[in-house]
Amino acid sequence: MDLSSLKYNEAGLIPAIIQDADTGVVLMMAYMNQASLEKTLATGETWFWSRSRKVFWHKGETSGNIQRVKEVFYDCDSDTLLFKVEQQGAACHEGYRTCFHYRLEPDGTVAIVGEKLFDPEQVYGKRT
């Protein structure tokens, strides 16, 4: 398959859903451009494109919490990717296993679901 035939948005990006291959937990969503997708496929670890910093972002480079790619899917519109990965440690920079740890409750309040696996300050340093 020619990776240029996927549908990238006007910024050249395609959303990538990252799912735990073992448990099925959806860990995070981030964006890839074609070059970061190629790096992901070549290395077997996830590489994204940081929209805010405008740089390649090798997931886990700072924290060690890398994602080893087990399977790669795309959808019927060819505009979204799904990666099943083996996640080291926690996916979320806030220290939780999944970035989706905020649950919107029927009464409109928010519950934090899941256990904090690491202290972000210990891993990334204090943000000043």
- Which residues would be at the binding site for a second copy (CB under 8 A)? 1, 15, 17, 19, 23-26, 28-29, 41, 71-78, 80, 82, 92-94, 96, 99-104, 108-110, 113
Nearer to a second copy (CB atom), residue 77 or residue 128: 77
Give the list of residues 6+ apart from residue 100 with CB closer than 8 angstroms, or none: 26, 27, 28
Q: How far is 3 from 1, CA to CA, in rounded Å?
A: 6
Q: How far is 81 from 98, CA to CA, in rounded Å?
A: 18
Q: Encoding tokens for residue 51?
A: 């929209």
Nearer to a second copy (CB atom), residue 29 or residue 123: 29
Nearer to a second copy (CB atom), residue 1 or residue 55: 1
